[in-house]
Structure 1
Amino acid sequence: MNKKSYLLLITIISALGGLLFGYDTGVINGAQFYLSKYFQLSDALKGWVVASALLGCFVGAIIAGKLSVKLGRKRSLIISAILFAISAFGSGLPSIFPETVTTLVIFRIIGGLGIGIASMNAPMYIAEIAPSAIRGKMVTYYQLAIVIGFFSVFLVTYFIGNNLTLNENIEFGWRRMFWSELIPSALFLILLFFVPKSPRWLCLKGKNEEAIKVLNQLQDEESAQVDYNEIQASLHNENDTDTKVNYFSKIILGIIVIGTTLSVLQQFTGINAVLYYGADIFEKALGFGQEDVLQQQILLAFINVVFTFVAMFTVDKFGRKPLIYIGSTGMIIGFLLLGVTLQQQNVGILSLLGILIFIASFSLSMGPVVWVLLSEMFPNKIRSVAMSIAVSAQWAANFVVSQSFPMVVGSETNNNAFWNGSLPYFIFIGFIIVIIIVTYKFVPETKGKSLEKLEDIWK
Structure 2
Amino acid sequence: MNKKAFLLLITAISALGGLLFGYDTGVINGAQFFLSKYFELDATLKGWVVGSALVGCFTGAIIAGPLSIKIGRKWSLIVSAVLFSVSAWGSGLPEMFPETVTMLVIFRIIGGVGIGIASMNAPMYIAEIAPSNIRGKMVTYYQLAIVVGFFVVFLATYFIGNGLTEAENIQFGWRRMFWSELVPSLLFLVLLFFVPKSPRWLAIKGEDEEALHILNKVHGKEQAQHEIKEIKASLEQKEQKEKVNYYSKAILVIIIIGTALSVLQQFTGINAVLYYGADIFEKALGFGKEDVLAQQILLAFVNLVFTFVAMYTVDKYGRKPLLYVGSIGMIVGFLLLGVSLQQNAVGLVSLIGVLIFIGSFALSMGPVVWVILSEMFPNKIRSVAMSVAVAAQWAANYLVSQTFPIVMESEANNSTPWNGSMPYFIFIGFILIIIFLTYKFIPETKGKTLEEIEGFWE
Shared topology, TM-score over 0.5? yes
Report if the CA contact (8 A) 1:29-1:279 is conserved: no
Q: Name the residue aligned to 2:314.
A: 315
Tell me by how many angstroms 1:392 deviates.
0.5
Which amino acid counterpart does residue 210 of structure 1 have in structure 2? E
Residues 260 and 408 from structure 1, CA distance in 2 versus in 1: closer, same or farther, beyond 3 angstroms? same
Residues 421 and 22 from structure 1, CA distance in 2 versus in 1: closer, same or farther, beyond 3 angstroms? same
CA distance in 2, matches of 1:48, 1:420: 29
CA distance in 1, matches of 2:265, 2:145: 17
Residues 31 and 414 from structure 1, CA distance in 2 versus in 1: closer, same or farther, beyond 3 angstroms? farther
Deviates more, 1:276-285 or 1:133-142: 276-285
CA distance in 2, matches of 1:40, 1:428: 35
CA distance in 1, matches of 2:42, 2:404: 14
Q: Name the residue aligned to 1:298.
A: 297
| Deviation per residue, 1:119-163 (Å, 9 max, x gap) | 000000000000101100010110011101111111112212322
Residues 396 and 135 from structure 1, CA distance in 2 versus in 1: closer, same or farther, beyond 3 angstroms? same
Q: Name the residue aligned to 2:232.
A: 232
| Deviation per residue, 1:211-236 (Å, 9 max, x gap) | 11111111210001100110000001
CA distance in 1, matches of 2:119, 2:6: 22
Report if the CA contact (8 A) 1:47-1:404 is conserved: no
Q: Name the residue aligned to 2:83.
A: 83
Residues 230 and 268 from structure 1, CA distance in 2 versus in 1: closer, same or farther, beyond 3 angstroms? same
Where in structure 2 are the equivalents of 1:406-421 lying within 5 Å? 406-421=405-420
Q: Name the residue aligned to 2:22.
A: 22
Tell me by how many angstroms 1:82 deviates.
0.6
Tell me by how many angstroms 1:67 deviates.
0.6
Which amino acid counterpart does residue 20 of structure 1 have in structure 2? L
Correspondence 1:387 to 2:377: no
Tell me by how many angstroms 1:40 deviates.
4.5
Deviates more, 1:157-166 or 1:421-430: 157-166
Tell me the SS of whatever aligns to 1:448: coil
Which amino acid counterpart does residue 212 of structure 2 have in structure 1? I
Report if the CA contact (8 A) 2:196-2:214 is conserved: yes
Residues 46 and 355 from structure 1, CA distance in 2 versus in 1: closer, same or farther, beyond 3 angstroms? farther
Residues 96 and 406 from structure 1, CA distance in 2 versus in 1: closer, same or farther, beyond 3 angstroms? farther
Which amino acid counterpart does residue 413 of structure 1 have in structure 2? A
Report if the CA contact (8 A) 1:376-1:446 is conserved: yes
TM-score (norm 1): 0.96
Where in structure 2 are the equivalents of 1:262-281 lying within 5 Å? 262-281=261-280
CA distance in 2, matches of 1:340, 1:420: 9
Residues 185 and 207 from structure 1, CA distance in 2 versus in 1: closer, same or farther, beyond 3 angstroms? same
| Deviation per residue, 1:21-64 (Å, 9 max, x gap) | 01122212222333344445455444332221111111101100
Q: Name the residue aligned to 2:351.
A: 352
CA distance in 1, matches of 2:280, 2:178: 22
CA distance in 1, matches of 2:390, 2:422: 27
| Deviation per residue, 1:356-375 (Å, 9 max, x gap) | 11111000100000000000
Correspondence 1:220 to 2:226: no
Q: Name the residue aligned to 2:197.
A: 197
Tell me by how many angstroms 1:278 deviates.
1.8
Q: Name the residue aligned to 1:117.
A: 117
Correspondence 1:338 to 2:337: yes
CA distance in 1, matches of 2:175, 2:404: 25
Residues 274 and 240 from structure 1, CA distance in 2 versus in 1: closer, same or farther, beyond 3 angstroms? farther
CA distance in 1, matches of 2:285, 2:48: 24
Deviates more, 1:442-451 or 1:36-45: 36-45
CA distance in 2, matches of 1:414, 1:60: 35
Deviates more, 1:96-105 or 1:448-457: 96-105
| Deviation per residue, 1:142-193 (Å, 9 max, x gap) | 0011101111111112212322334433443322221111111011000000
Deviates more, 1:431-440 or 1:37-46: 37-46
Where in structure 2 are the equivalents of 1:79-228 lying within 5 Å? 79-93=79-93, 96-228=96-228
Q: Which runs of 5+ in 1 are unaligned?
A: none
Which amino acid counterpart does residue 18 of structure 1 have in structure 2? G
Tell me the SS of whatever aligns to 2:231: helix
Report if the CA contact (8 A) 1:4-1:218 is conserved: yes
Tell me by how many angstroms 1:86 deviates.
1.0
Tell me the SS of whatever aligns to 1:248: coil
Where in structure 2 are the equivalents of 1:239-258 lying within 5 Å? 239=239, 244-258=243-257
Q: Which runs of 5+ in 2 are unaligned?
A: none
Tell me by how many angstroms 1:343 deviates.
2.8
Which amino acid counterpart does residue 352 of structure 2 have in structure 1? L
Tell me by how many angstroms 1:95 deviates.
5.5
Deviates more, 1:89-98 or 1:21-30: 89-98
Q: Name the residue aligned to 1:288.
A: 287
Residues 38 and 384 from structure 1, CA distance in 2 versus in 1: closer, same or farther, beyond 3 angstroms? same
Report if the CA contact (8 A) 1:239-1:245 is conserved: no
Tell me by how many angstroms 1:285 deviates.
2.9
Q: Name the residue aligned to 1:52.
A: 52
Report if the CA contact (8 A) 2:93-2:99 is conserved: no
For the aligned residue pairs, the C-alpha RMSD in angstroms reads 1.7
Residues 95 and 329 from structure 1, CA distance in 2 versus in 1: closer, same or farther, beyond 3 angstroms? farther
Report if the CA contact (8 A) 1:48-1:403 is conserved: no
The percent of aligned pairs where both chains have the same amino acid is: 76
CA distance in 2, matches of 1:89, 1:133: 40
CA distance in 2, matches of 1:32, 1:295: 19
Residues 199 and 127 from structure 1, CA distance in 2 versus in 1: closer, same or farther, beyond 3 angstroms? same
Correspondence 1:328 to 2:330: no
Q: Name the residue aligned to 2:72.
A: 72
Tell me the SS of whatever aligns to 2:345: coil
Q: Name the residue aligned to 1:368.
A: 367
Tell me by how many angstroms 1:94 deviates.
6.8
Which amino acid counterpart does residue 347 of structure 1 have in structure 2? V
CA distance in 2, matches of 1:257, 1:392: 13
